[in-house]
Structure 1
């Protein structure tokens, strides 16, 4: 397994095991298979585990699997979907979420704690779900005045090693967060050949993940790539029930030429999508959404094969699938 430097965490594996898969967010898996997948990932050289309370059973499975004594080289993340609480409540909510995750995973500290909300200007109106924006979106003034100081205190107390943001919010706000000090240590950025966030995109503007990648690297912010297979849209078949009008279903339909190209190459689309994402400039580690050992093995094969050659990249770009 190749490694890369992820901000203050130092060297981590180029693949990160995401908690969504083992927590059953990306289709069903049983608890025993989830634990076996976690063990297999560690045995294969994965050193970073990306979790969140909203990822189903993933944090509980980590607590059960390692019983409070994970291998010393493993690193763990968690997240909190803060939204926009009343002024003065941010720090307490972040701390409560952190303490709950630590208790569930049976850990004394975590290495990386993310703000998992969208970040948007204070008076921003979302194209989708604006009535609920205070549940999923953190206003810029709260991020600046309360979130950053709360994270910095948690670092000073040794309860987290670093903090980050999930960069799926309004692009201008993510850009500002990456370029105005104090900056996050790490950002999670959409990393797929369609440049699509699918069902988690709520704003109308272009998503612009590649400029965000460039901004992060120019400021020394570590990058975790997410949604390499765009929630299943870049695989052979979506493995969970979705409405035909769901953004991920629409992306799957739009990606039909990509699947045809992979068939012509005799390659599985998910493997090619992972190789593409691993080759994107600026990505330090790629978060996997795998839920079982078979899917993990395919992702490991993609990492071992390395980035796609220039001729295959050209053919993919010629499909015109970027949003």
Structure 2
């Protein structure tokens, strides 16, 4: 597995990262044994960057990873952890908490659940509108100085917020949705990151499975699958979006790869400062994704991909309307 460095101050990580959210019920029931086996397979394949959050099934994901990582060399992988999103017992959304005391409290719980003495990258999942970002990242800086955190990260914020946070402490990377059908980051955020020497970890590179090549028009989301509420998977939107996938499939077939591999490779091809996160929750999906790290795309390939899925071609917001207001950039 090739390596990429997250910005000018961040760690060297694998060219593809593993996003663990789907292993804790975000897309319906997941098999615990298969999830752990998938983490093991990823590590064995050279994947070192593993992304989680303390609110993924309210600690379930961190406990799962602790089990999967037990006995592994702690210096052989990097844990990226998001914090700050509040949930109730019925999974109802309760806002965000970026107060310095809360930051330290969240971190203490994560360290315990993960069974480690440090987190490699720690980041607020979203901005708390009631707390200046300088205060939130200042608390993370204190935890870096104390040795409990190695690097500061951000998630889903705009260019101005990146600058404000970076002025308090160097930001290693911004985690944000970036895919062929979610390209708003290209306008202002990505140029700002490159100006400041900040990396980008891209989640949603397969549009939550929409552009994986495995979703079909008649398919219904399983119970508990968050995609049931996604505008891009609903009604006429999904039919339009899947037509884009079929156009992409023709490019993939000519290239001799799968649609998923092409979509992941496209994100990686947007710059050596970008690390795609693959949300595989089975060894089969992981095995399909891994070759994307070695897939080279020529200028002609990129032009054909652009023709198949032009910027802004997808229909529907990437989140339900209630969550769109928390994002630093749109679709």
1:229-253 per-residue CA deviation (whole Å, 9 max, x = no partner) reads: 1112212244734677732315643
Count of matched residue pairs: 287
Which residue of structure 2 lines up, in the alignment, with residue 191 of structure 1? 178
1:52-91 per-residue CA deviation (whole Å, 9 max, x = no partner) reads: 1222332111111233654432111211125555xxx812
Cα distance in structure 2, aligned partners of 1:184 and 1:10:
11
Which residue of structure 2 lines up, in the alignment, with residue 248 of structure 1? 232
Alignment of 1:1-323 (within 5 A): 1-7=1-7, 8-56=9-57, 57-67=60-70, 70-82=73-85, 83=95, 85=97, 90-117=99-126, 119=127, 138-139=128-129, 142-144=132-134, 146-166=135-155, 168-169=156-157, 171=158, 173-177=160-164, 180-195=167-182, 207-238=184-215, 240-241=221-222, 246-249=230-233, 252-265=238-251, 266=253, 267-281=257-271, 283-306=273-296, 308-319=297-308, 321-323=310-312
Structure 2 unaligned runs (5+)? 86-94, 313-331
1:282 Cα deviation from its structure 2 partner? 5.1
TM-score, normalising length: structure 1? 0.79
Which residue of structure 2 lines up, in the alignment, with residue 132 of structure 1? none
Cα distance in structure 2, aligned partners of 1:42 and 1:263:
29
SS at 2:294's partner residue? helix
Cα distance in structure 2, aligned partners of 1:320 and 1:49:
29
Cα distance in structure 2, aligned partners of 1:257 and 1:174:
36
Q: CA RMSD in A?
A: 2.6
* Range that drifts further, 263-272 or 105-114: 263-272
TM-score, normalising length: structure 2? 0.78
Structure 1 unaligned runs (5+)? 120-137, 197-206
CA contact (8 A) 1:189 1:213 kept: no
* Range that drifts further, 247-256 or 24-33: 247-256
CA contact (8 A) 2:154 2:175 kept: yes
1:286 Cα deviation from its structure 2 partner? 1.3
1:215 Cα deviation from its structure 2 partner? 1.1
Q: Residues 243 and 54 from structure 1, CA distance in 2 versus in 1: closer, same or farther, beyond 3 angstroms?
A: closer
CA contact (8 A) 1:228 1:277 kept: yes
CA contact (8 A) 1:91 1:147 kept: yes
